[in-house]
Amino acid sequence: MAQATFHFPRGFLWGTATSSHQVEGNNTNNNWWAWEQEPGHILHEDKSGVACDWWGGRWREDFDLASEAGQNALRFSVEWSRIQPSPTRWDHAALDRYHEMVRSLKERNMISMVTLHHFTDPIWVTEMGGWENEEIIKYFVKYTQKMVEALGDYVNLWITINEPNVLALLGYALARFPPGERDLNSLGRVFSNLVRAHAAAYQVIHKLQSTAQVGIAFNYRPVMPNRSWSPLDRLQASLQDNIFNENIPQALRTGKMGFLFWKKSLPQIKGTQDFIGLNYYSQEYTSFNLLRRQEFFSSHSYPSGATLSDTGFLANTPEGLIKAIHWALQFKIPIIITENGIENSADSLRQRYLIQHVHQLWRAVNHNHPVKGYFHWTLIDNFEWERGWTQRFGLWELDLATQTRRKRPSADLYTEICRENGLSSEMVERFAPELISSLFPG
């Protein structure tokens, strides 16, 4: 066996990613909390409840876990509904709490990447029509300004909106997220308002903080026709790629948005990204299926032979990560992997998944592609939206009843990667020996 280490550039960011609603607990003033109370929306009628109890103070323990594990960065989100509980009121105690969190990360020599919007809206925003109402833009800008003023001494790496493509499609076309609509007419307005809100927030952040780096985190999912000979499958793949993967990023590049028969010129959004955040989990195949009207006549599958996650929700397809990076190169700005991970409660797959994806990441860096960091999803098992508590993505296991954290073996693996700033043959030999011959031949 060849002995070697795939090293990354000095200053490469190694961290984990979280979001407020999934870890804080008791976010009772947002649309997701209200959505959870209505039957039929969350698998097994699960509730976020106390979640990982960050708002109760357990964030300190988890920051220590991340720091002691060699991570030099942490991506987390702030909760709009806590900070602005009504249109005319700011909660300064909540602002102080987040200020304490970013200061504590600085004290641990960790870089904060702060996400301003990760799927949740205050109830009052929902009542005014949510992302269908362009009035949300001015409120989002005021909220952004407040956060930069409060946290700017410790933060200059910002995500304005997480996965706007997922938020729009699952909330307004597929009815899996609040507000639970299936309306292609409203989808265009939502896409437009999301990118306009991002662009306006981008301008405000740079006005207040000239050194800021600002981007959006996109969920990029390579999609291929299941039957390459089928014109209908190829059409499905093309439509899904256009709407899910290309629509928003291309609009931010060109200032022109369009999908299907909907077109709009938005010159003010052009060039409003300093980096592109990539959330990558799996690639998939799609087929035209007349029986799946609610899914717009499409069905999905994973590549033959790919290892599936616990519930079959994801597949281990590391080659898709290099595809995602190659796709992102067209925007000619730095790339940060802002989410990547897999649900695996027994931790039998995660170690292999992590090694193979970090290897693909190294391949990109080794070709001088401008990839600047990697954030694993996630630090601690958390509430996974419409899938509730059925999926375990954490490097640390969470006992929901006792709030006990238990380290999984993959946490040790990631610690070694972070501390080495690289992936060694010795790590692979210990954590996933079946990969040695493919990653370190000879």
In terms of Cα–Cα distance, which of 113, 18, 119, 100 is closest to 62?
18
Q: What is the pLDDT of residue 185?
A: 85
Average pLDDT over every residue of 238-254:
94
Q: What is the pLDDT of residue 309?
A: 98
- pLDDT reading at 162 higher than 90: yes
Lowest mean pLDDT, pick from 1-5, 119-123, 280-284: 1-5
On whether the CB atoms of residues 53 and 145 are closer than 8 A, the answer is no
Segment holding 117, helix H or strand E: strand 111-117
Please write the tens of the pLDDT for every residue from 312-330. Answer: 999 999 999 999 999 999 9
Average pLDDT over every residue of 300-305:
90
> At 199, which amino acid appears?
A
Please write the tens of the pLDDT for every residue from 92-124. Answer: 999 999 999 999 999 999 999 999 999 999 999
The mean pLDDT value of the chain amounts to 96
In terms of Cα–Cα distance, which of 138, 120, 112, 269 is closest to 196?
269
Please write the tens of the pLDDT for every residue from 326-357. Answer: 999 999 999 999 999 999 999 999 999 999 99
Q: What is the pLDDT of residue 291?
A: 72
- pLDDT reading at 142 higher than 70: yes
The CATH number corresponding to 5-223+269-439 among 3.50.50.60, 3.40.50.300, 3.20.20.80, 3.40.720.10 equals: 3.20.20.80
Length of the chain: 442
Q: What is the pLDDT of residue 1?
A: 59
Segment holding 32, helix H or strand E: helix 31-37
Q: What is the pLDDT of residue 295?
A: 73
Query: How would residue 298 be classed by pLDDT, with cut points 50, 70 and 90?
Result: confident
On whether the CB atoms of residues 388 and 340 are closer than 8 A, the answer is no
Q: What is the pLDDT of residue 333?
A: 98
User: What contacts 426, CB < 8 A, 6 or more positions away?
Assistant: 3
